[in-house]
Amino acid sequence: MSQAMLQVKTASKHFLGLKAVDEVSLSVHPGEIVSIIGPNGAGKTTFFNLLTGQLAPTSGEVLFEGQPINHLPPHARARLGMGRTFQISKPLIALTALENVMIGAFLRDAPLTVARDKAMVVLEKVGLARLAMRRAGDLTLSERRRLASVGASSTANTQVLLEELANPDISDDTLHRRPDRLIVNAVLTVALLAALIAAVLPLPVLFMIGFAVAMLLNYPTIDEQKALLSRHAGNVLAVVGLIFAAGIFTGILSGTKMVDAMAESVIQLVPPVLGPYLAIVTGVLSIPFTFFISNDAFYFGVLPILAKAGQAYGISAAEMARASLIGQPVHLLSPLVPSTFLLVGLVGVDFDDHQRYTLKWALGSAAVLLLAGLVTLVIPLRG
């Protein structure tokens, strides 16, 4: 068998206590296509970054055509012939699709005419020749991803690393376009804007109505709507469903007065000897309370009871309020926080992995906040 073009020997990458990549080895020979698969958060992107030089391995070795390249930065590896695409495509939007592909040929100092000819050949092979003179910024998302893979696999590269290839079933966005309904959609858009300006209904309601009408006009069948929603809003629907469930759970806790009962029970569990230290107790209690129930339920249901009890020991409401903020770093790990779901989705990390890794740092941050509050006297040590 020929010499491996790319070889990885027990490569690892550790971020403090997190083993993102742990002793991975592989060999890729000329002409081979090798796939790396795994769930979100498995370390695929980190492994790609080790191969292309965005990150240095904690241990292990990466070889390209038999030569160690651990010490080489990304641009030096590109000159050796290693191309790479990214999960989020970022072409040079001011340049045309043709000019974006030509950049790969310039890596070998090719003349302008040669680079243009080679780029056109590559674009024709993947069906993007008709878009050659269109600005990259005007391309659809799927077209940008195809352009990125074309640029990485241009004739200048001998090894191509493709991350998160676009689904071939949806690579052509023309299937979902409705140019024959331009006037109808324009009228709907103007009507929606007029309703927004006139404040006919609350903004979310108007957008939901507009979206529903647009879907019925442009994609009348259930199958079309399902495919489009799955393509553009699969994660959004899952997150929205989870937030609705969390809202129902919180509503049950509040509506049935379970939160009030929990607060009363907690107060009764606090021994009288800890009364003068109720500010510190509130800070500690804010960590689990703001994680398992919403901020509203804690600050409007639990904190007033704690603050009233604190007054009996000479602790002001303002001091109790400051102490109640200690749990906020941990609160951001709660499944009741929509923004956290959005952020982990954008970076491609599983929520449970994010919680496991971040919890110790969030608890440490809460401890630092409490200590700083006590040192600066914004939180009283005792009443």
Q: What are the backbone angles phi and psi of residue 379, rounded to the nearest 5°?
A: -120, 120
Q: What is the chain's Cα-based Rg?
A: 28
Cα–Cα distance measured from residue 270 to residue 267, given in angstroms and rounded to the nearest whole number? 5
Mean pLDDT, each 10-residue run in order, the chain (383 residues)? 83 84 89 83 85 89 90 86 76 84 73 82 81 84 76 57 52 64 91 92 90 90 81 66 70 71 70 84 89 79 81 86 92 81 72 85 93 92 79
CA dihedral for 112, 118, 120, 123, sign (positive or negative):
negative
pLDDT of amino acid 170: 41
For 221, list phi and psi in degrees, rounded to 5.
Answer: -90, 155
In contact, 155 and 104? CB cutoff 8 Å: yes
pLDDT at 178: 77
Query: Does this chain's domain 1-78 share its CATH topology with 81-175?
Result: yes
Looking at residue 259, its pLDDT comes to: 65
- What per-residue confidence (pLDDT) applies to 375? 92
Q: Looking at domain 81-175, what is its CATH homologous superfamily? A: P-loop containing nucleotide triphosphate hydrolases (3.40.50.300)
- Domain 1-78: CATH superfamily is P-loop containing nucleotide triphosphate hydrolases (3.40.50.300)
Select from 193, 120, 183 the least CA-distant residue to 150.
120
CA distances (Å), 333 to each of 236, 297, 345, 368, in order?
18, 17, 14, 17
* CA 73/CA 312 separation, integer angstroms: 64
Give me the pLDDT at residue 3, please.
78
Alpha carbon distance 320, 303 (integer Å) = 8
Supply the pLDDT for residue 234: 62
User: Phi and psi for 214 in degrees, rounded to 5?
Assistant: -60, -40
- Rounded Cα gap, residues 146 and 165, in angstroms: 8
The residue extents of the domains of the chain are 1-78, 81-175, 180-247, 254-375
